[in-house]
Structure 1
Amino acid sequence: MEEAERLLDEWRSWPYSLTSRPVLVGRLPSETNRAFRLSSSTGPLVLRINSLEVAGVNRLQESKILGRVVGTSFFDCHIANYPDRGYLVMPFLSGVHPQPHIKSDQLLELGLAISELQSLSVQGIRRLDPIAQIHSYIDEFPAGGSNEVKAILARVTAARTEPSQFVLCHFDLLPENLLISDRGWTLLDWEFAAASDPLVDFATVVESLHLDRDKTNALLTAVGGEIDDQKLLQMRATLRLLWLVWRWCRSGKIERSTPELIRINQLMDAAERIR
């Protein structure tokens, strides 16, 4: 709390027409950073104090991407971002996180938001290959991780195809980073964003929300449903493997993950049945 209180002393430099120093209300859940809710003369705010070292995070790139997404339909708010000072301030946004029973019309709107994101420029944004990123994570461990993971990595690598184009991807559209409200969708936490395969964000939503065929089709309406089922399954498997080895890097140890490995193999089996 001491560091958060110290950063509050910089409130006059924040772009919110504040008339007094904000007040620290309490902690907010965050897997990779420290986040706090503030009360202020202009309404509730969020103070995020960046973790110094998080696998896969580049704060300078995040800052560049934030400059492109601010003002879009899916991130329509003002932020005060100070990557050199190690923190960010933004409004506290109301809304609810999506659940598997989400309505199809809401998924249609989310698909449109992802398509809007993909329309933004990726000039000067680094490209991220999910499989290469998996390799970089497991290389941190002796012998490159478990034999089971190495076998699955070989399987998804053999099935990969190069994307036809590179687009701006959020790369972390899990339910906790999605808000739905009367304003529509808000996409939160851009620290993993990069240029990559157009399938990445769609596959993340389908897999993390366990969408069935009808709801997947609703999500993909924004792109005319023109996504190859086999490639979507392969990307879902790849991303699940990416999430798994990222958690290993985060914890610093290889953990037993049999259910995750079974799920990844099931996705690859389903992909291989499509011929």
Structure 2
Amino acid sequence: MTSVSWQQAKLLEPSLSALDGFFALPPVRAHALTGGLTNRCWRLVSSDGLEYVWRPTSQICEAFAISRHEEYQVLTAISPLNLGPKAVFVDEQGLLVEWLTGYTPTHSDINIDQILAVAAEIHGYPLTSLTLGTFSYLAKVDHYWYGLNGEFSGTEFEALYRKWRSEPHIDSIPLALCHFDLGSYNLVCGDNEIKVIDWEYAAIADPRLDLALVLQLADVSIEQGVIQYCQARQIEEVTLWLDGVLAWIPRTRMMAMLWYLLAYKLWGDEQYLHSADEFKDLLCMEDHCFENR
């Protein structure tokens, strides 16, 4: 989408009106960003040349249990790490963050060591600086399922939801800050550094759950990835971590399956249903590889 005036932008995205009191002068340019699934965001250029991203609160945020206030809190807390964008302003209408200059890497631009180093830095952040509630896997998948309003009752989708609804019975480890969407598409490379965007799903949780997501998004060997991660964090109990990651994998797939089903219900895009089917088929095909622990 080409740039539009501030008044035109507010007609297209009424939540932008929340920023009228923030800017001394109206932004000189605004355009909707493409990409992203739950965040239809806007890039803004202020009268003094500073660039921002407006992340609105919407019905989509409610459907996926996203809180812009919690996202603001996370970004503010981790600001000493210089790992994410600076959070500038938040209210009930949305969140304003700084625009990060750089490029989104492809798989060939970035290696798994770099991604795991970022994950390790996030997971190692002290929780004393955060007041977020603890992530509940059960509450999350139930929220997605009930958001479907029975549309897929009696299908294989429901059977898999019921099968993998419980948390795994694994030895506990200290909880950590988790990003929950640490794919290359949420990285920005520039000036010999890597930064992470889109913290809307961030929460305090078992870091093995987040690591399971990271390794699947990177499409690398689970065992080797866990070993490399443990080396990065100087963790000796590799088996404890590997067992945990393997136990979380089918549950992350079920959670992703429900996410795509809900996205399909909300937007009606067949591609989302196709993605949900892919996760369903993957679970059905590999179900014998995992014990329901």
* TM-score (structure 1 length as normaliser): 0.79
Cα distance in structure 2, aligned partners of 1:152 and 1:100:
34
Stretch moving more, 139-148 or 129-138? 139-148
Q: How does 1:118-157 map to 2 (within 5 A)?
A: 119-121=126-128, 124-140=131-147, 141-142=149-150, 145-157=153-165
* Partner amino acid, structure 1, of 2:27: P
Which secondary structure state, in structure 1, belongs to the residue aligned with residue 42 of structure 2? strand
* Pair 1:24–1:219, CA change in 2 (3 A): farther
Aligned equivalent of 1:258: 277
The Cα offsets for residues 17-61 of structure 1, whole Å up to 9 and x where unpaired, read as xxx643224221232233222334344332322324342212332
* Pair 1:47–1:62, CA change in 2 (3 A): closer
- Maintained 8 Å contact 2:52/2:96: no
Cα distance in structure 2, aligned partners of 1:57 and 1:137:
12
Please say if 1:233 is aligned against 2:241: no
CA RMSD of aligned residues (A): 3.3
1:7 shift after superposition: 5.3
**Consecutive unaligned residues in structure 2, runs of 5 or more:** 1-8, 267-271
**Consecutive unaligned residues in structure 1, runs of 5 or more:** 14-19
Cα distance in structure 2, aligned partners of 1:166 and 1:160:
15
* Partner amino acid, structure 1, of 2:211: F
1:232 shift after superposition: 1.0
Greater RCO, CA 8 A, separation 6+: 1
Identity %: 21
1:235 shift after superposition: 1.4
* Pair 1:54–1:176, CA change in 2 (3 A): farther
* Pair 1:56–1:245, CA change in 2 (3 A): same
Aligned equivalent of 2:29: 24
- Maintained 8 Å contact 2:176/2:204: yes
Aligned equivalent of 2:117: 109
Cα distance in structure 1, aligned partners of 2:17 and 2:96:
14
- Maintained 8 Å contact 1:179/1:187: yes
1:115 shift after superposition: 2.9
* Pair 1:110–1:66, CA change in 2 (3 A): closer
Q: How does 1:175-254 map to 2 (within 5 A)?
A: 175-212=184-221, 213-223=223-233, 224=235, 226=238, 227-252=240-265
2:182 to 169, 173, 180: 173
* TM-score (structure 2 length as normaliser): 0.75
- Maintained 8 Å contact 1:144/1:150: yes
Cα distance in structure 2, aligned partners of 1:9 and 1:251:
34
